[in-house]
Amino acid sequence: MTAEHHWTASDGTRLFYRVDDFTDPWADAPTVVLLHPGMGSSLRLFGWVPHLARRFRVVRPDTRGHGRSAPGPLDGLSHDRLSLDLFELFDQLGIASAHVMGSSAGGMIAGQAAIRRPERFRSLALYSATAGIPPSRPAKGDWMARVGKAGVRGFLEQTVRDRIGDASPAQVQWYLDSAEGLTVEYLSRFVPLMASEDWTERLAAFPFPVMLGVPDPDPMVERAEYERMRGYVRDCTFVTFPGASHGMSAEIPDACALAYLAFLEKVGP
């Protein structure tokens, strides 16, 4: 069954998540948390659910400021706060640890959380996610100026091909709709935060298995960024997706989810 819930974080912000659980009711199934990319919501990862939810309790939160989660105080937006949101959600669900997959900015949030509380991770998968955004990347694409001029939806329309490739008009419409709730004001704080720190070298300290899922080539990220990350991970599963776009977690969810399921099977309980 799929259930939708709101909860209140410790700073008073009202946040939202979905739980997809088709595991045996009498079994103690492990939990998988899926973190959506920036400028999106948990709706982007719906295609992963059929592949995972029979064996795992799947939790899909909306990151604060995205989807149906409130932004909270913008002056309080930080890596610590976003990490705390994840751990407080774990507490809300009554779980000590979980497998976590993060797509793009969702992976950056997951990585920052893993630095702070590695014992709460059974494994970490990063799809199209680097260890922070080099400031040169949004500057090169003139991201914030374009968002300020066109709005979030307009900016996504301008860059949609890099994000989900040659998608049908109907899929593009759905992709744009799944970004509802995000404001320009929030994004102007969120993007610089993602670009504020490079934690690549800290990957070496992660004691759990890590999967890197990489578009080949990624139209938005230099391959060297991914290779540098790969060099620091001690227990790394590196999977490439030829011809995929940066937003492959929404573009080709079946292929992405099946590769993730294979990783989880290798990791074991």
* CB-count exposure of residue 28 (10 Å: 0-12, 13-18, 19+): exposed
Strand-pairing partners, residue 57, are 31
pLDDT exceeds 70 at position 269: no
What confidence score (pLDDT) does residue 160 get? 86
The candidate with the shortest Cα–Cα distance to 211, out of 86, 121, 142, 78, is 121
pLDDT exceeds 90 at position 18: yes
pLDDT exceeds 90 at position 61: yes
User: Is the separation of the CB atoms in 163 and 175 below 8 Å?
Assistant: yes
- What contacts 200, CB < 8 A, 6 or more positions away? 130, 131, 132, 228, 229, 232
Q: N- to C-terminal Cα distance for the chain?
A: 22
pLDDT exceeds 60 at position 35: yes
User: Is the separation of the CB atoms in 160 and 40 below 8 Å?
Assistant: no
What confidence score (pLDDT) does residue 233 get? 97
What confidence score (pLDDT) does residue 88 get? 98
User: Looking at residue 104, what DSSP letter applies?
Assistant: T
What value does the mean pLDDT take over residues 181-207?
A: 93
Output the average pLDDT for the chain: 93
Sign of the alpha-carbon dihedral angle for 37, 42, 46, 51? positive
Percentage, residues of the chain above pLDDT 70: 96
Token readout for 261 is 């399921």
What confidence score (pLDDT) does residue 118 get? 98
Could you give all domains of the chain from N- to C-terminal order, each with its CATH number?
Answer: 2-267 (3.40.50.1820)
More confident residue, 42 or 188: 42
Strand-pairing partners, residue 241, are 215
pTM of the model: 0.94
The amino acid at 35: L
Using one digit for the tens of pLDDT, what is the confidence trace for 121-156? Answer: 999 999 999 998 776 666 556 667 787 787 888 888
CA distances from residue 203 to 1, 31, 61, 115, 212 in whole angstroms, order as listed: 35, 23, 24, 8, 12
What value does the mean pLDDT take over residues 234-263?
A: 97
